[in-house]
């Protein structure tokens, strides 16, 4: 009787495909795919967040740069931040 090759990840289930180079069982493949897809969303969210922070910093630097060497109070700084234009999402290529 031929020996059944077990999943190299969990070591419990038979491999999903004996002829494939992928040594995992179906549940391990499915779990990996789910985690990979979830991490894609997380990475895209983090990338968008970082781009938004960069855009906000650039906008605020521009707003304060227009003030030249003026002396301003903290309340005025807060007001400039409040009324600064919100960065717009760049066009997707
Ligand atoms: Zn497995």
Residues 77-81 have a mean pLDDT of 94
Distance CA 10, CA 25 (A): 8
Q: Residue 15 Cα, ligand 1 centroid: separation in angstroms?
A: 7
**In Å, what is the CA distance from 20 to each residue of 15, 16, 24, 26?**
9, 8, 9, 12
The predicted pLDDT at position 8 comes to 95
Give the tens place of pLDDT for each residue, 47-67: 999 999 999 999 999 999 998
User: What's the number of domains the chain is made of?
Assistant: 1
Q: Residue 16 Cα, ligand 1 centroid: separation in angstroms?
A: 9
Angle, vertex CA 55, rays to CA 52 and CA 60, nearest 5:
125
Domain that holds residue 8: 1-93
Q: Residue 54 Cα, ligand 1 centroid: separation in angstroms?
A: 42
Q: Residue 29 Cα, ligand 1 centroid: separation in angstroms?
A: 7
């Amino acid at each position: 009787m031929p020996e059944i090759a077990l999943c190299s990840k969990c070591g419990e289930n038979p491999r999903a495909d004996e002829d494939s180079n992928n040594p995992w069982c179906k549940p391990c493949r499915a779990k990996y795919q789910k985690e990979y897809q979830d991490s894609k969303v997380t990475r895209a969210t983090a990338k968008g967040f970082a781009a938004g922070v960069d855009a906000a910093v650039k906008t605020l630097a521009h707003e304060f740069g227009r003030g030249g060497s003026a002396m301003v109070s903290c309340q005025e700084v807060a007001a400039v931040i409040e009324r600064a234009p919100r960065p717009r999402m760049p066009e997707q290529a």
